[in-house]
Amino acid sequence: MPSNPTSPHSAKSLAFVVGALALLASGAALAGPCTGLGAPITTQTKCLTAIQIPGNPLRSFDISWVNPDRAEYYLGDRSNAGIDVIDTRHDKFKYTIGGFVGVVLLKGAVDNNHSGPDGVVSHGRWLYAGDGDSTLKVIDLDAPLKPTIEQSISTGGSTRVDEMALTTDGKLLLVANNAEDPPFGTLFNANGDNNTSNVTKISKITVASTIIPTGSGLSLEQPTWDPKTERFYVSIPIIAGNPTGCTLTPLTCHGGMLVIDPTKPVPVGGYGLFDAASNTPQNNPSDTSTLVINAKTKNFANIGNITGSDEVWFNAGDNRYYTGSSRFNGLVPGVVCPDTATPSCPVLGVINGETNLLIETVPQGSGSHSVAADSRRNRIYVPQVGTVLVVGTGGDTTNTGVSAGICGGSNGCIAVYEHDVDHEHEEADNEFDRDHRSDQDR
């Protein structure tokens, strides 16, 4: 059985939570980061520090990405209308790349479908990010004076360009307009290792109406590239008719994976589709597990009790999957969970990449859904929503200040977790850092 870090915490930990709430109520700042329920001492994945983001409190954010060769972490920060860049060598904030629409409100609440930035991915000097106005932004991180948006390309929709994936060589990019009706993808020629930007559209990718009917509100989600099969795999949370006789209202249908061969783009359909067992985490109320799927054999393993992961990151440095899961189907002592009907809490899930067993879960603040890891340094980055309510943007008020304890304050942060594999590996990473240090660091 996998270990579980949700054994009762000490009275001291619970006392801190009560104290944290009192401080929040008075508007005072907390003493320091990595305390409380989000920093348990029983887990292998340790809370190392919290990185504060200048500007507006971190209320709304989306996908994140790490480029270990550049020692940089990127976060789609809607609250500050830009991409936050973090130095993963020193765990320090570097700058925010602006030029995005930021938070858009609809009836007093955040309109995720039109806010941005959203999805992010990078290769070498090129950073690609989706915006809320249906545009793909192409950013040169090595521009002479400062990182610059070199291209802004419309995908032809009216809602956000969301999650995306690059081929290993950085020459092909697939992005998803998940909020369109019906949703669609766009395949681009990307920059690879070029020194100048020349990103162009190859094909719009739509899904057959038998799978995603128009007007059904169904979606395309996270794509990923598999270098062994040379295919893009795109999560479809809900598929009409899967299984036969299922209904969309009430929801009894499940999802699957869209398999795209980028060498044979066709306008509609024509792609492989395989059923992801009958589990698509949290989209169907009956689902209680996350799947690890073998792209070649299509075999899968069920990871029980964690669902609702907007982003999952495989860290080659320690052979573990890290999940930004909005729901752990268990109780965390001292935490009042957002979902009171079926008590569950947001967690950072940690899964063994060899055995596909859940190693541990680390409590996170409400709204936790984004995660990325630096494979050279085995650092895991999890953005935390601010705990102070702001009209239209919400706040972490339902799970007793977990974010506040992690961040050491009420404005949100990027939590840094560390998994120390071994000292020999750590010394090799330090040597890599010394050999590849930028001129600025020298």
Q: What is the pLDDT of residue 406?
A: 94
pLDDT in tens, 16-49: 232 333 333 333 444 589 998 899 999 999 999 9
Report, as an integer, the average pLDDT of 139-165.
97
Res. 266 pLDDT band, cuts 50 70 90: low
pLDDT at 427: 52
CA distance 78 to 115: 7
Amino acid symbol at 392: G
**Cβ atoms 363, 344 nearer than 8 A:** no
Could you tell me if 365 and 384 are in contact, meaning their C-beta atoms sit under 8 angstroms apart?
yes
Answer whether 331's CB lies under 8 Å from 343's CB. yes
Confirm whether 350 is domain-assigned. no
Report which of residues 18 and 227 the model is more confident about. Answer: 227
Please name which of 205, 138, 145, 218 lies closest in space to residue 170, comparing C-alpha atoms: 138
Reply yes or no: is the peptide bond before residue 243 cis, omega within 30 of 0: yes
What is the token pair recorded at 26? 């008075």
Least confident of 80-94, 261-275, 317-331, 386-400: 386-400
pLDDT band at 390 (very low <50, low <70, confident <90, very high): very low
Tell me whether residue 12 is in a domain: no
CATH code of the domain containing 166: 2.130.10.10
- Residue 176 domain-assigned (yes or no): yes
pLDDT digits (tens, 9 = 90+) for 59-89: 899 999 999 999 999 999 999 999 999 999 9
In a domain, 284, yes or no: no
Q: What is the dihedral of CA 234, 274, 353, 45, to 10 degrees?
A: 50
Higher pLDDT, 281 or 108: 108
pLDDT at 332 over 60: no
* Confidence check: pLDDT of 344 > 90: no
The answer on pLDDT for 357 being more than 80 is: yes
- Whether 251 is in a domain gets the answer yes
What is the pLDDT confidence band of residue 330, given thresholds at 50, 70 and 90? low
The parent domain of residue 223 ranges over 76-279
Q: What is the pLDDT of residue 337?
A: 56
Task: Return the minimum-mean-pLDDT range out of 142-156, 240-254, 299-313, 392-406.
Answer: 392-406
pLDDT, the chain, mean: 82
Among 10-19, 200-209, 270-279, 364-373, the range scoring the smallest mean pLDDT is: 10-19
In this prediction, residues 83-111 reach a mean pLDDT of: 96
Which pLDDT does position 273 carry in this prediction?
A: 54
Q: Which residue has the higher pLDDT, 27 or 280?
A: 280
Residue 155 lies in a domain: yes
Whether 380 is covered by a domain: the verdict is no
**Residue 296 binned pLDDT confidence (cut-offs 50, 70, 90):** confident
Give me the sheet containing 345-352, strands edge to edge. 306-315, 320-328, 345-352, 358-363
State the pTM of this model: 0.85
Kindly tell me if the per-residue pLDDT of 426 is higher than 80: no
Residue that wins the pLDDT comparison between 221 and 2: 221
pLDDT-above-90 percentage for the chain:
53
Which pLDDT belongs to residue 180? 96
pLDDT in tens, 171-223: 999 999 999 999 999 999 999 999 999 999 999 998 888 889 999 888 888 89
Q: Is residue 418 part of a domain?
A: no
| Total of domains in the chain | 1
Residue 13 pLDDT > 80: no
